[in-house]
Amino acid sequence: MPESRNPSVAMHLDLSDADAEFLADVRAFITRHWPPSVRRPRPVTAPDGVPGPAENAWFRALAARGWAVPHWPPEHGGTCWPAARRYLWARETALAEAPDLDPCGVQLVGPLICALGSIQQQRRWLPGIREARARWCLAWSEPEAGSDLSRVATRAEPSAAGYRLTGMKSWVAGARHAGAMLCLARTGGAPEPAGLSLFLLDVSLPGVRVEPIVTLDGSAGLANVDLDGVDVPAAALLGPRDGALEVLARLDQLGPAEPVLAPRLQVHVERLKSRAAGDQDLARQAAALEVEVAGLEALELRILSQQDEGRRVPALVAMRRLRQVRVVQRLGELQVAALGHYALPFPDVLLIDNEGPIGHDYALVELADMLRGRSWSIDGGTSELHKNRIAGTILGF
Ligand SMILES: Cc1cc2nc3c(=O)[nH]c(=O)nc-3n(C[C@H](O)[C@H](O)[C@H](O)COP(=O)(O)OP(=O)(O)OC[C@H]3O[C@@H](n4cnc5c(N)ncnc54)[C@H](O)[C@@H]3O)c2cc1C
C-alpha cells in the first residue's frame, strides 16, 4: 500500500494490514507523547545533553508502553518486532525527531547484560536502562590502547571485596552524565594479550574521577576517567574472567542494536534541499547525497532482514558503518556550507552577551553535527579497522 504521510520524505511501503495497523498505532503514540509543540531539529550525531522534561516524559511513555528497548529479548522488555516493524519504528521516530534513549545503555550494555549477565546483574542494571534512569559509558580505551585493546593496562586485582581497579581510561564518551560504566581491565598477567575482563560499576564509587575534555564542538562530551584503587564486588564481573577479548570479538552476535540511521539522515537532507533552492551547485550536491542515503537505507534494511533470518555478515556491518560515516561527514560539510556565516563556531559568546543564537534554529545543531561527525571515522573503531574487517571476511586476509 503506498503511503506518504510526510510527502517531503516519501517512500513507498508495501504493508500488510497488520503492519498498516501497527504503523497507525505508532503514529498515534508519537503524536500523543512527542507532540509537534515539543519537536525541534535534532542532530544526527548523538549529543551528550541532559534530557529535559519533554524528553523524560517521552522516555516514561516508551517504558510504560513497552517500546523502550524493542531489540532486547522479550523476557527483558523486548518487543519481538520483525525487521519491517523495527524499521517502521526507526523511521517514524526519526521523522518526528524524537529523542533516543541513552544509546550506550540501550544499544550495547543492555544487550551484553542480557546475554552474559547473571540474574542478579540483570535485575540490578537492566530496569535503569529500560526506564531511562541510568546512563552508561564505555571505559575501554586508554592512552596506549585504542584500536588494539589487548594493550589495556588498567589492573583489576583480587581484593577482600572482590576486585580493586587501578588505571587511566581515555576518550570516554558521556562519562560526565553517566551513572554507570562498563570497564575493561586486566585480570590476568600483563603484557599477555589475553587476561582482560569486563566490569559493571557505579561511576559514583570512591576512587573514580571523571575529568571532562572540552571538544571542538564546545561540549564536554568526552572525558578521561581515573580509576584510583576502586573497590568493586566480585559480582561486578560481567561474563567470563579473562575472556573479555573473546566477548568483544563476537560482539555482533551478542545482540547489540542495529542502528538505523537513514531515515534521520533523510530528514536532514530534505532540510538541506529546501535551502538549496536557487543554488544549483548545492542542490546538485544535496541530490547526490540523497542517493547515498538511499544506498545506506538499502544496506540497513538488508542487515535488519538478515538478522530476522538469524544471519549476520560482519563485512556488511562494517560496510554499513563506513557508509554511515561517509554520509554523515558529507552531510555536515554541505549543511555548514549552506549556513554560510550563520554556522557559528563559538555560540557561547553570543549567549554570554545575551544575544542568543542568530540565524536559523538549526544552525547550532548543524555546526555541532559537522564537528562531531569528523570523529565518526575514529570512535567505535576506526575506518581502517572496518576495512580490515571487510578484507578479512570477504578476501580472507
Ligand atoms: C569522539 C570519540 C569518542 C570515543 N568514545 C570512546 C568511548 O566511549 N569509550 C572508549 O573506550 N573509547 C572511546 N574512544 C576511543 C576510540 O575507541 C579510539 O580512539 C579508537 O579505537 C582509535 O584508537 P587510538 O585513538 O588509540 O588510535 P590508534 O589505535 O593508535 O590508531 C592510530 C591510527 O592507526 C590506524 N590503525 C591502528 N591499527 C590499525 C590496523 N591494525 N590496521 C590499519 N590501521 C590501523 C588507525 O586506523 C588510526 O588511523 C572515542 C574516540 C573518539 C574520537
Interval 21-73: pLDDT, tens:
999 999 999 999 999 999 988 888 876 678 999 999 999 999 999 999 999 99
Res 6: pLDDT: 47
Nearby residues of 49 by Cβ (< 8 Å), 6 or more positions away: none
Return the residue whose CA atom lies nearest to atom 24 of ligand 1: 146
The C-alpha cell 544471519 sits at: 311
136 lines ligand 1 (CB under 6 A): no
Res 310: pLDDT: 79
Lowest pLDDT segment from 93-102, 179-188, 359-368: 359-368
Query: Is the per-residue pLDDT at 354 higher than 80?
Result: no
Res 257: pLDDT: 79
Which of 267, 5, 218, 251 is CA-nearest to residue 112? 251
Reported confidence tier of residue 11, pLDDT bands at 50, 70, 90: low
Task: Give, for 169, the enclosing helix (H) or strand (E).
Answer: strand 162-169
Distances in whole angstroms, Cα of residue 180 to Cα of each of 16, 124, 334: 42, 12, 37
Please check whether residue 199 is in contact with residue 238, taking contact to mean a CB–CB distance below 8 angstroms: yes
Res 348: pLDDT: 61
Average pLDDT over residues 315-331: 95
How many whole angstroms separate alpha carbon 120 and alpha carbon 87?
A: 32
Q: Name the most confidently modeled range: 23-27, 99-103, 255-259.
A: 23-27
140 lines ligand 1 (CB under 6 A): yes
Average pLDDT over residues 189-207: 87
Using left for φ > 0, alpha for ψ between -120 and 50, and beta otherwise, residue 167 falls in left
Amino acid at site 291 = V
Distances in whole angstroms, Cα of residue 145 to Cα of each of 68, 153, 185, 386: 33, 8, 11, 17
Res 350: pLDDT: 58
The C-alpha cell 530496569 sits at: 127
Reported confidence tier of residue 227, pLDDT bands at 50, 70, 90: very high
For a ligand 1 pocket test, name from 144, 171, 397 the mutation site with the most ligand atoms within 8 angstroms of its C-beta.
171
Please check whether residue 162 is in contact with residue 238, taking contact to mean a CB–CB distance below 8 angstroms: no
Reported confidence tier of residue 168, pLDDT bands at 50, 70, 90: very high
Res 345: pLDDT: 58
In the reported structure, the alpha carbon of residue 145 is separated from the centroid of ligand 1 by a whole-number distance in angstroms of: 8
In the reported structure, the alpha carbon of residue 118 is separated from the centroid of ligand 1 by a whole-number distance in angstroms of: 31
Which of 105, 110, 134 is CA-nearest to residue 122? 110
Given the CA of residue 140, which atom of ligand 1 is nearest to it?
Answer: 11
Nearby residues of 55 by Cβ (< 8 Å), 6 or more positions away: 99
Lowest pLDDT segment from 160-174, 182-196, 335-349, 376-390: 335-349
CA torsion angle 384 387 388 394 (round to 10): 180
In the reported structure, the alpha carbon of residue 169 is separated from the centroid of ligand 1 by a whole-number distance in angstroms of: 13
Query: Is the per-residue pLDDT at 297 higher than 90?
Result: yes
How many whole angstroms separate alpha carbon 248 and alpha carbon 256?
A: 11
Return the residue whose CA atom lies nearest to atom 40 of ligand 1: 385
382 lines ligand 1 (CB under 6 A): yes
How many whole angstroms separate alpha carbon 380 and alpha carbon 146?
A: 10
Higher pLDDT, 310 or 110: 110
Reported confidence tier of residue 7, pLDDT bands at 50, 70, 90: very low
Return the residue whose CA atom lies nearest to atom 12 of ligand 1: 141
**First and final CA of the chain: distance in angstroms?**
45
Res 356: pLDDT: 61
Query: Is the per-residue pLDDT at 4 higher than 50?
Result: no
Q: How many CA atoms lie within 13 A of 303 on its CB side?
A: 23
How is residue 142 written as a grid cell? 586508554
